Structure 1
Amino acid sequence: MKKVLPVIILILAAAGAYMYWQNQNKKQDENAGIFKIYGTIDIRDASLAFTEQERIEAILVEEGMRVKKGQVLAKLRTAKLDAAIKELTARIAAQQETVAKLEAGSRSQEIDQARAEVQAIMARVANVTRTVKRLKATSRSGATSIQNYDDAKAQLKVEQAQLAAGRKALDLLIEGPRKEDIAAARHQLDALGASLDQLQVRLSDMILIAPADGIIQSRILEQGELAGPSKPAFVLALCDPKWVRAYIPEPMLGKINLGMTAQIFTDTLPGQPLDGWVGFISPVAEFTPRAVATEDLRTQLVYETRVFVKDPKDMLRLGTPVTVAINKNQTDARPAVPAETANLSRESVE
């Protein structure tokens, strides 16, 4: 017992010295305008899915891989879409020829041909007219029958009608296509072009790319599986932004403001604090009791606070416990983060 007593005294003395040292440091920090809060590193993640429904042709990344914004992660099969694009391209080419034909108008050869046909009909009309005149004279004398005369008059009317139709056709060729027909052909070509653009967009959607820098947290689908908008293929942990989720008691609300600068300390990087700033303070208490009546109960309320971290080397990980030293005498020029953004980021992690 006598040997144990000195050890206990040393332990108590060391504990007392440590508490004294802590209190002195706390007083020094308070005198310097610095106070500490404690929390964990939080990040956003994104569930990445294809907008098209098709079989996966290739998976190009693995879990844990770092990816850059715009990097290709996976591809879908495109055989059906390629065939549809090829067919529509041919239809567009045909419609372009139709528009060019209408815009060019009638060819001179076509007009000459129509004019020659009109002249031929005019010759037939003249010939039938002479026949009618002869039969009219001979039918009176009885040399020819009245039936022949009537047949000749009917033939003359047919030829005259054909002559009128030929002249109108010639006029139409000379005038060329109607502007309404040209406009309709152009609009049809535009519609086909818009359909092709839509197919091209769908073709680009057959490739899944990283929306931002990050780390592949989960690889959900595999090659050959059917992907779609409702089936995420990957979960991407975003590298930026990162923040410390901490909780401050109600009495500290008057000491902390948005924009205050901070230093973030971790056990894995001793003596290498990272810079940050206070970007969000929750407007509501996180823990019960929600209805507060006395001063004692008010001190039990805590409010969520987000301290955003500048981590250019990507050293921090989700859930890492940290200590945040906030300097109330300095502010950062970065804007505060709206509550809606903070709530969304919290839902993505939880």
Structure 2
Amino acid sequence: MTAKKKKIMLVLFGTLIILCFGLFYYIRLRLSASETLTIYGNVDIREVQLAFYDTGRILKIYVQEGQRVKKGELLAELDPVRFEDAVRQAEHAVAVDKAALENAEITYKRDEALAKEQYISLQERDNALAALKEAKNKLKADEAALSLAKRELQDAKLYAPQDGVIEDRILEPGDMVTPQTPVFTMALDRPVWVRAYVPETYLGKIFLGMKAEILTDSYPGSVFQGWIGFISPVSEFTPKNVETPELRTKLVYQVRVYSENADYRLRLGMPATVRIPLNQPYPPEKPPLTMD
């Protein structure tokens, strides 16, 4: 065999090897793609409207828009003068009732002893007993009124119900409020979820608790770990703002892919890509966080 033929054979052999490797990786890529469901959606969060339990005038507001707050943190308070006066009046009424109850007990014990010796009539003893019961009932009612007044004084302060971010500061100090008037809009951004839609043909391949990966254009190269936390029991047509005209008539199911969002980088409305490996064992592992 001449040197030229050997060279041609080596080139052909090398080309064959390259084609084999290329075919291997192509088949592997196709198999990998068939085992992964890729869907698209947007990041969603919960929002709450925070309001006082009572009517009054706002005295102080302690937080600004965009500020992150912790559960139990004081956000605002009403002018407490009216509520403090109500507490003092209720405390005075309870003190008077206790003195009246003490006198009624003394009177009843005395009249009971006198009635046994027939120094007074049974009617007078029964009147003393009725007065004692009335004094007890009045004390109980005024103690309940005192407890309510103290509760209303506590409710003059507005606290954060959960960790989150102050999204909107709607009112300002000096504004009058009622229980129906929100003071803040608060975003509860941990966990968050991606709202996406799964074709009906894939519905039997996913289940609650499956692990998923979330990717966004805002953080190229970053992968946020998540899990499927909701699969809609009701089908719907593909939302018109999501898919092409050809796919708008196809039935899909809404899913929510939750993420712990520990670093708070996932934000409301952010477009996201979700990858769900379909070869996961059942039952799934418990997710790191659950919705309250």
TM-score, normalization by structure 2: 0.76
In structure 1, C-alpha distance between the alignment counterparts of 2:144 and 2:162, rounded to whole Å: 30
Where 2:275 maps in the other structure, the secondary structure is strand
Gaps of 5+ in 2: 1-22, 240-245
Contact 1:249 1:299 in 2 (8 A): no
Stretches (4+) displaced over 6 A: 22-25, 296-299
Whether 2:206 is the aligned partner of 1:256: answer: yes
Equivalences for residues 1-350 of structure 1 within 5 A: 27-30=30-33, 33-105=35-107, 167-168=119-120, 178-287=128-237, 300-330=250-280, 331-334=284-287
Task: Note the C-alpha offset of 1:28.
Answer: 4.2
Q: Which amino acid aligns with 1:328?
A: L
Task: Note the C-alpha offset of 1:212.
Answer: 0.5
Larger Rg: 1
In structure 2, C-alpha distance between the alignment counterparts of 1:288 and 1:70, rounded to whole Å: 41
Task: Note the C-alpha offset of 1:42.
Answer: 0.5
RMSD (Å) for aligned C-alpha atoms: 3.5
Q: Hey, which of these two has a bigger chunk of helix by percent?
A: 1
Task: Note the C-alpha offset of 1:74.
Answer: 0.8
Q: How many residues align?
A: 255
Contact 2:45 2:188 in 1 (8 A): yes
Q: Which amino acid aligns with 2:68?
A: R
In structure 1, C-alpha distance between the alignment counterparts of 2:70 and 2:28, rounded to whole Å: 43
Task: Note the C-alpha offset of 1:103.
Answer: 2.4
Task: Note the C-alpha offset of 1:106.
Answer: 7.8
In structure 2, C-alpha distance between the alignment counterparts of 1:47 and 1:280, rounded to whole Å: 24
Q: Which amino acid aligns with 2:83?
A: L
In structure 2, C-alpha distance between the alignment counterparts of 1:275 and 1:43, rounded to whole Å: 16
Contact 1:42 1:243 in 2 (8 A): yes
Q: Which amino acid aligns with 2:33?
A: E
Task: Note the C-alpha offset of 1:334.
Answer: 4.4
Contact 1:44 1:241 in 2 (8 A): no
Change (3 A) 1:194 1:181: same
Contact 1:67 1:215 in 2 (8 A): yes
Contact 1:262 1:278 in 2 (8 A): yes
TM-score, normalization by structure 1: 0.64
Residue in 2 aligned with 1:143? none
Where 1:324 maps in the other structure, the secondary structure is strand
Gaps of 5+ in 1: 1-19, 109-113, 115-166, 290-295, 346-350
In structure 1, C-alpha distance between the alignment counterparts of 2:175 and 2:36, rounded to whole Å: 55
Contact 2:61 2:76 in 1 (8 A): yes
Where 1:329 maps in the other structure, the secondary structure is coil
Where 1:248 maps in the other structure, the secondary structure is strand
Task: Note the C-alpha offset of 1:279.
Answer: 1.4
Where 1:168 maps in the other structure, the secondary structure is coil
Where 2:173 maps in the other structure, the secondary structure is coil
Q: Which amino acid aligns with 1:253?
A: L
Change (3 A) 1:83 1:286: same
In structure 2, C-alpha distance between the alignment counterparts of 1:270 and 1:298, rounded to whole Å: 29
Contact 2:237 2:248 in 1 (8 A): no
In structure 1, C-alpha distance between the alignment counterparts of 2:148 and 2:89, rounded to whole Å: 14
Change (3 A) 1:276 1:105: same
Contact 1:260 1:329 in 2 (8 A): no
Task: Note the C-alpha offset of 1:94.
Answer: 0.9
In structure 1, C-alpha distance between the alignment counterparts of 2:28 and 2:55, rounded to whole Å: 61
Task: Note the C-alpha offset of 1:23.
Answer: 7.5
Contact 1:105 1:176 in 2 (8 A): no
Q: Which amino acid aligns with 1:98?
A: A
